[in-house]
Structure 1
């Protein structure tokens, strides 16, 4: 596994196997050479064998926030939802806004603990993708009430994934997913050495606004977004899985396919792409939005067999060497 560095504009350095603050990222594909017979004019033409990359490197935007009790703090960070901590759904619109970011809608619901929507294999799925014809198991709401899951207003939510000099500071964050023996690509804060050393997913530890104090004194309050694309293969049993906390919203082809809103412990959802009415061989976007809003845990795991690529390098508020 290769070692990568993240470097801040103040010159601090921290070694990580799988993520770094940086200005750019490269992904490599190894092409095996053709056999000699393929070079012979008398032999039939054989396309080159393409070895799947050993890793996928993606670059997104991390934004650091101050918790709401601090001067200049954001009111959604370190806020307990009205009906308590837990998994909340349906507080963002099912499609992205005009700026390709999630849009606050509110009026959502809390999922009853232990009663997630599940596929026939028992894996958690987004409530929007529930299909009884596939053998899915229906989940349950915690009650008849509505709850925004600790989100205050649409204007405040808009700042989660947009630069706002009054409330956040942003930087490019590169993440590497390593190929496993089963062909999936994984980044897991539970096994990444840098994350293990810090006790969780803290990619901007002591960076940007810095650690806020408290116990534990980690940089808990940040968001992270990725804009990627992939080629859909109808026979590939393609999946994307996230496990972590707190809020995570994933959109494929502009549609919400993972909805892990709220302030909660680590929760997992999987999206099976053959549910989405995609066209074989076409390229689609996958946009990923993550928020870490509360002590005392920060968990982050992506597992996928998609060969994701960063659509474009982000523009951020902090310049890096």
Structure 2
């Protein structure tokens, strides 16, 4: 009887353990040098350690054809469309590129978070500029995917500095542009879906673009109830593949409930 009870308890715990598994995201990081400086034989970028001030509307409301943000107009904290293009594109004349991985740990039964108030992932790496005690002046981008479920009433939020833009299905959902201290923004998926035509049960992309452009602090906090997926190859999975995985998980859950 005791063994049977233990087996039941383990069976009940398995779905919870699976649900609580951390979410790992792998993205791209590009290192820059401050304006007017040189490090590792690479000159400085005019948009880094050159401006102050937060603003919305720096980027267009939809991603460009290459899946990257597009400068909406010349802005007081951005030198030009050409300089902005270099933020999220490889250009050995101004940046060095590497990989970055973050892990969102479960903080509740349905919510995951990565939080770092000392976000300096490339100290001593890439261009290795050290001004102010850390390798400042970098951008990050993460590309992931989720299945929209109306019943979950999911949310995604970000708090950080400096610039942060979050796009869902290629549409701007969080706009925290400019050079500033840690500020936050959030999006409710049901509200966003109603405005932008997301369909229950369908798969959508989520793209996060961040820039650290000033020496005073570096904060990065991502919190969500979405089940984000990033394949090991770094390529977004086809919607059909995600559908098959989802169907398998649902079938396994139904079988477990029948056994209980």
Counterpart selection for 1:66 from 17, 33, 49: 33
2:57 aligns with 90
Report SS of the residue matched to 1:261: strand
CA distance in 2, matches of 1:87, 1:257: 17
CA distance in 2, matches of 1:173, 1:149: 29
* Aligned-residue offset at 1:49: 4.3
* Aligned-residue offset at 1:53: 3.8
Q: Does the CA-based 8 Å contact 2:77-2:178 persist in structure 1?
A: yes
* Aligned-residue offset at 1:156: 0.8
Q: Which has the higher strand share?
A: 2
Counterpart selection for 1:306 from 212, 222, 226: 226
* Gap regions ≥5 residues in structure 2: 1-6, 236-260
1:290 aligns with 210
Change (3 A) 1:314 1:171: farther
2:94 aligns with 167
2:22 aligns with 55
2:78 aligns with 151
* Aligned-residue offset at 1:87: 2.0
Count of residues in Structure 1 that have an aligned counterpart in Structure 2? 218
* Aligned-residue offset at 1:181: 2.4
User: Is residue 2:166 matched to residue 1:246?
Assistant: no
CA distance in 1, matches of 2:109, 2:19: 12
CA distance in 2, matches of 1:280, 1:96: 23
* Aligned-residue offset at 1:106: 1.8
- Give deviations 1:78-128, integer Å, cap 9, x for gaps: 111xxxx33201111100001000001126xxxxxxxxxxxxxxxxxxxxx
* Gap regions ≥5 residues in structure 1: 1-33, 39-47, 108-147, 191-199, 316-321
Report SS of the residue matched to 1:217: coil
CA distance in 1, matches of 2:47, 2:185: 23
- Give deviations 1:192-239, integer Å, cap 9, x for gaps: xxxxxxxx10001111111333xx221111000001000111011111
User: Is residue 2:149 matched to residue 1:233?
Assistant: yes
* Aligned-residue offset at 1:174: 0.8
RMSD of aligned residue pairs (Cα, Å): 2.2
User: Is residue 2:187 matched to residue 1:271?
Assistant: yes
